[in-house]
């Protein structure tokens, strides 16, 4: 188990081989002692102005790669970013560190825009953040020309590709950059790109002999768990209880689901709120702000939430339903543990969600006249996701393989498989035989719901009308909870031992493998989650070693106060990793803060004394 920082040290010389100038900038603004392996190369490309495509997982440290070069070279670069919230957070964080940067976006009025433009003209900023649709306006192009901008960074570059999971038409126009500024270098950044998407980015942007830097996708600090979806509300609440007072995100498919889950959590005493694209912009912003200010701990959201979320101390990401691709899963779980500390990702899986997604995709393809091959590619991505969730192997290895990497090591110690939390159900084959023969008895004419009714011996009107209470399979599994039975049916579908037709009224059908199982020619392994007793895994324990947890809480409170005074989100002030280091080393003089990672010069001047005071009063 290697953390990012260990990987960094392992990269070679102190500072990861960075030059003195780069190190000076790192210390001054961020209080960092060195670079991670790929950052070094990406920064070099930025300094040499060679086009580049940098692929690193969320939390890998992409932003530093485009922040450092202009500061070292004393120039102004442009960063294209898709969302206002994302730009604002970055600019806030940079300014707090004393790094001059600005954003121009549609949330600003004419006056503000003019002020920023004037500031920029003086050349005092190192970075200008801008949305793609504004970049190509005559006014902005004029500014770019006047400032003699020689380097562009494209954040979330996968948005340019329709093969990716987050295509944005406005990114397409970025293809013009190379023709308009043939002498400027372009640096594309993304967290999620398969081979195909990577090629597409290079081609669309017209990158010239780019340095292609692909980081390891593995996030060693994330603990991945996949659980069969049974009583999902209760399962979510139980997971969140393990993270009391910590930040979590719950993702689900529909707006209705987010609201229903949020209501349930609130009724369980959790500080939670829903977030989805159907809410008023104001309400959405309020939820986002309250989450950033640590007034709520849990946001239950559709995918609409997260791109603008930079809270680095998210300790838990829950998927109440299957995401529609491994890319989405990687990106959504990637929001956990960006500070490098352990975080947990739990996916509640049911094959029913696969079917739900397929229907949604088909409907939306029909409505928006999507080309058949794009729909097909979407379904393929979904199928890969389903496979990830259902194949029992190390999750870290599974994700690495998907992104074309070989996972080093045999046991990650941070997934349900390696922690041996999944076990086979006793008498799986017999159970499967009973389920399959029930499908045969109802003549393969009914759906999951009805088959489960018959197996569990429900005395519904429909069962009686059809005379199904007289079937030999009626009630043969009445001791198994309904939710477990439903899950077993879907496990059989997943394993290809049972078919479920598509369409409005899907029915269960038998295939050749079903008959093989029923004849006793084939063994079946059904899975279930083992009850786990321990609250924290070994890795989580290790991250708290020597940390005074009460002091950590006091420091968090102080951080909230400072953030509120400045009107910025708490995580912009100091990261959890820095707070834990403080709560373990307990420096009592301001000078000593220089040795704490994440404390740059400006922050030491601005609130170093208050931090030290907090530590002293605690003792
Ligand atoms: P990304 O944009 O790739 O998602 P970020 O740039 O937000 O990732 O970086 C993730 C976290 O890692 C941040 O908390 C950042 O401060 C930290 N970080 C980045 N580079 C370094 C480094 N060289 N040393 C220590 N911490 C770093
Ligand atoms: Zn593993």
pLDDT along the chain (619 residues), means of 10: 36 60 93 87 96 88 95 96 85 93 91 90 92 91 92 94 78 92 95 82 95 88 92 94 93 94 96 91 88 92 69 92 92 88 94 90 88 87 90 88 82 90 89 96 94 94 93 94 88 89 85 95 87 68 88 94 89 89 94 90 94 92
130: left (phi over 0), alpha (psi -120 to 50) or beta: beta
Kindly state whether residue 578 falls inside one of the protein's structural domains.
yes
Q: How much distance in Å is there from the Cα of 308 to the middle of ligand 2?
A: 30
- Closest atom of ligand 1 relative to the 62 alpha carbon: 3
pLDDT recorded at residue 15: 52
User: Are 250 and 208 contained in the same domain?
Assistant: no
- Closest atom of ligand 1 relative to the 575 alpha carbon: 14
Q: How much distance in Å is there from the Cα of 457 to the middle of ligand 2?
A: 39
Q: How much distance in Å is there from the Cα of 338 to the middle of ligand 1?
A: 7
Kindly state whether residue 541 falls inside one of the protein's structural domains.
no
User: Are 363 and 509 contained in the same domain?
Assistant: no
Burial label for 230, CB within 10 Å (0-12, 13-18, 19+), is middle
Last residue of a domain, one of 421, 444, 467: 421
Pairing of the two strands 422-424 and 527-529: antiparallel
CB of 60 closer than 6 angstroms to any ligand 1 atom: yes
Kindly state whether residue 132 falls inside one of the protein's structural domains.
yes
pLDDT recorded at residue 47: 96
3-class secondary structure, 32: coil
- Contact (CB, 8 A) for 15 and 5: no
- Contact (CB, 8 A) for 344 and 414: no
Nearest Cα neighbor of 581 from 341, 245, 342, 344 is: 341
Kindly state whether residue 83 falls inside one of the protein's structural domains.
yes
User: Are 524 and 376 contained in the same domain?
Assistant: no
User: Are 89 and 234 contained in the same domain?
Assistant: no
User: What CA–CA distance (Å, rounded) separates 565 from 561?
Assistant: 6
Mutation test of ligand 1: which of 64, 312, 343 has the most ligand atoms closer than 8 Å to its C-beta? 64
Instruction: State the CATH number of the domain containing residue 612.
Output: 1.10.150.80
3-class secondary structure, 121: helix
- Closest atom of ligand 1 relative to the 60 alpha carbon: 3
Q: How much distance in Å is there from the Cα of 598 to the middle of ligand 1?
A: 10
Mutation test of ligand 1: which of 16, 61, 574 has the most ligand atoms closer than 8 Å to its C-beta? 61
Instruction: State the CATH number of the domain containing residue 32.
Output: 3.40.50.300
CB of 312 closer than 6 angstroms to any ligand 1 atom: yes
User: Are 269 and 322 contained in the same domain?
Assistant: yes
Q: How much distance in Å is there from the Cα of 205 to the middle of ligand 1?
A: 25
User: Are 205 and 187 contained in the same domain?
Assistant: yes
CB of 32 closer than 6 angstroms to any ligand 1 atom: yes
Nearest Cα neighbor of 292 from 587, 568, 610, 602 is: 568
Mutation test of ligand 1: which of 14, 338, 339 has the most ligand atoms closer than 8 Å to its C-beta? 338
Q: How much distance in Å is there from the Cα of 61 to the middle of ligand 2?
A: 24
Kindly state whether residue 281 falls inside one of the protein's structural domains.
yes
Kindly state whether residue 368 falls inside one of the protein's structural domains.
yes
- φ/ψ of 614, rounded to 5, equals -60, -40
- φ/ψ of 78, rounded to 5, equals -110, 135
User: Are 370 and 255 contained in the same domain?
Assistant: yes
User: Are 194 and 135 contained in the same domain?
Assistant: yes
- Contact (CB, 8 A) for 215 and 403: no
User: Are 311 and 393 contained in the same domain?
Assistant: yes
CB of 64 closer than 6 angstroms to any ligand 1 atom: yes
- Closest atom of ligand 1 relative to the 34 alpha carbon: 23
Last residue of a domain, one of 214, 233, 265: 214
- φ/ψ of 407, rounded to 5, equals -75, 130
CB of 514 closer than 6 angstroms to any ligand 1 atom: no
Last residue of a domain, one of 366, 389, 421: 421
Which structural domain, as residue segments, surrounds residue 516? Answer: 428-529
Q: How much distance in Å is there from the Cα of 61 to the middle of ligand 1?
A: 4
CB of 58 closer than 6 angstroms to any ligand 1 atom: yes
Kindly state whether residue 539 falls inside one of the protein's structural domains.
no
User: Are 233 and 277 contained in the same domain?
Assistant: yes
User: What CA–CA distance (Å, rounded) separates 512 from 563?
Assistant: 63
Q: Of all residues in the chain, what percent are helix, strand and coil, respectively (each to 5)? A: 50, 10, 40
User: Are 145 and 284 contained in the same domain?
Assistant: no
> Which uninterrupted H or E stretch holds 399?
helix 395-402
pLDDT recorded at residue 472: 94
- Contact (CB, 8 A) for 35 and 8: yes
Residue nearest to atom 6 of ligand 1 (CA): 61
CB of 333 closer than 6 angstroms to any ligand 1 atom: no
Instruction: State the CATH number of the domain containing residue 482.
Output: 1.10.10.10
- Contact (CB, 8 A) for 213 and 42: yes
- Contact (CB, 8 A) for 117 and 143: yes
User: Are 441 and 317 contained in the same domain?
Assistant: no
pLDDT recorded at residue 14: 46
Q: How much distance in Å is there from the Cα of 186 to the middle of ligand 1?
A: 21
Kindly state whether residue 249 falls inside one of the protein's structural domains.
yes
- Please tell me the total count of domains within the chain: 4
Q: Is the pTM of this model over 0.85?
A: no
């Amino acid at each position: 188990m290697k953390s990012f920082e260990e990987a960094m040290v392992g990269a070679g010389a102190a500072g990861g081989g960075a030059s003195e100038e780069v190190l000076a900038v790192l210390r001054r603004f961020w209080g960092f002692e060195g670079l991670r392996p790929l950052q070094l190369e990406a920064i070099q490309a930025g300094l040499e102005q060679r086009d580049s495509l940098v692929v690193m997982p969320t939390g890998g440290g992409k932003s530093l790669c485009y922040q450092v070069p202009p500061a070292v070279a004393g120039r102004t670069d442009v960063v294209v970013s898709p969302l206002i919230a994302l730009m604002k957070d970055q600019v806030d964080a940079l300014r707090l560190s004393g790094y001059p940067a600005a954003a121009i976006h549609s949330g600003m009025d004419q006056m503000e825009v003019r002020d920023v433009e004037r500031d920029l003209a003086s050349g005092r900023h190192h970075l200008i953040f801008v949305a793609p649709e504004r970049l190509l306006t005559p006014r902005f192009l004029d500014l770019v020309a006047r400032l003699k901008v020689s380097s562009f960074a494209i954040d979330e570059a996968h948005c340019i590709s329709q093969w990716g999971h987050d295509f944005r038409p406005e990114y397409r126009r970025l293809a013009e950059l190379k023709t308009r500024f043939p002498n400027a270098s372009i640096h594309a950044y993304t967290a999620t790109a398969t081979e195909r998407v990577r090629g597409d980015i290079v081609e669309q942007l017209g990158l010239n002999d780019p340095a292609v830097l692909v980081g390891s996708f593995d996030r060693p600090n994330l603990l991945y768990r996949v659980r069969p979806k049974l009583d999902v509300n209760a399962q979510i609440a139980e997971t969140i209880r393990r993270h009391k007072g910590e930040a979590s995100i719950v993702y689900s498919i529909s707006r209705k689901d987010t609201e229903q889950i949020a209501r349930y959590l609130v009724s369980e005493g959790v500080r939670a709120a829903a977030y989805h694209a159907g809410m008023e912009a104001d309400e959405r912003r309020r939820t986002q702000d309250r989450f950033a200010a640590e007034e709520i701990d849990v946001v239950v959201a559709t995918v609409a939430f997260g791109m603008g979320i930079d809270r680095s101390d998210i300790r838990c990401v829950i998927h109440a339903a299957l995401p529609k691709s491994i890319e989405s899963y990687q990106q959504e779980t990637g929001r956990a543990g960006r500070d490098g500390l352990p975080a947990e990702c739990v996916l509640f899986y049911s094959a029913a969600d696969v079917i739900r997604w397929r229907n949604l995709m088909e409907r939306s393809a029909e409505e928006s006249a999507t080309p058949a091959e794009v729909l097909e590619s979407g379904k393929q991505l979904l199928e890969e996701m389903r496979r990830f969730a259902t194949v029992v192997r190390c999750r870290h290895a599974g994700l690495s393989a998907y992104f074309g990497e070989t996972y080093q090591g045999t046991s990650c110690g941070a997934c349900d498989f390696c922690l041996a939390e999944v076990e086979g159900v006793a008498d799986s084959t017999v159970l499967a035989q009973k389920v399959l023969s029930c499908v045969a008895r109802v003549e393969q004419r009914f759906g999951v719901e009805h088959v489960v009714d018959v197996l569990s011996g429900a005395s519904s009107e429909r069962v009686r009308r059809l005379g199904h209470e007289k079937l030999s399979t009626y009630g043969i599994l009445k001791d198994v909870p309904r939710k477990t039975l439903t899950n077993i049916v879907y496990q059989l579908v997943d394993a290809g031992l049972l078919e479920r037709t598509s369409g409005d009224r899907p029915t269960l059908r038998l295939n050749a493998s079903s008959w093989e199982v029923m004849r006793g020619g084939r063994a079946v392994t059904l899975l279930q989650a083992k009850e786990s007793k321990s609250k924290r895994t070994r890795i989580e324990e290790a991250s708290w070693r020597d940390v005074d947890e009460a002091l950590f809480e006091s420091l968090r409170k102080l951080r909230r106060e400072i953030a509120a005074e400045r009107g910025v989100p708490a995580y912009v002030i100091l990261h959890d990793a820095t707070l834990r280091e403080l709560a373990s080393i307990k420096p009592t003089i301001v000078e000593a803060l220089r040795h704490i990672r994440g404390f740059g010069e400006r922050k030491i001047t601005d609130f170093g004394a208050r931090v030290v005071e907090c530590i002293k009063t605690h003792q």
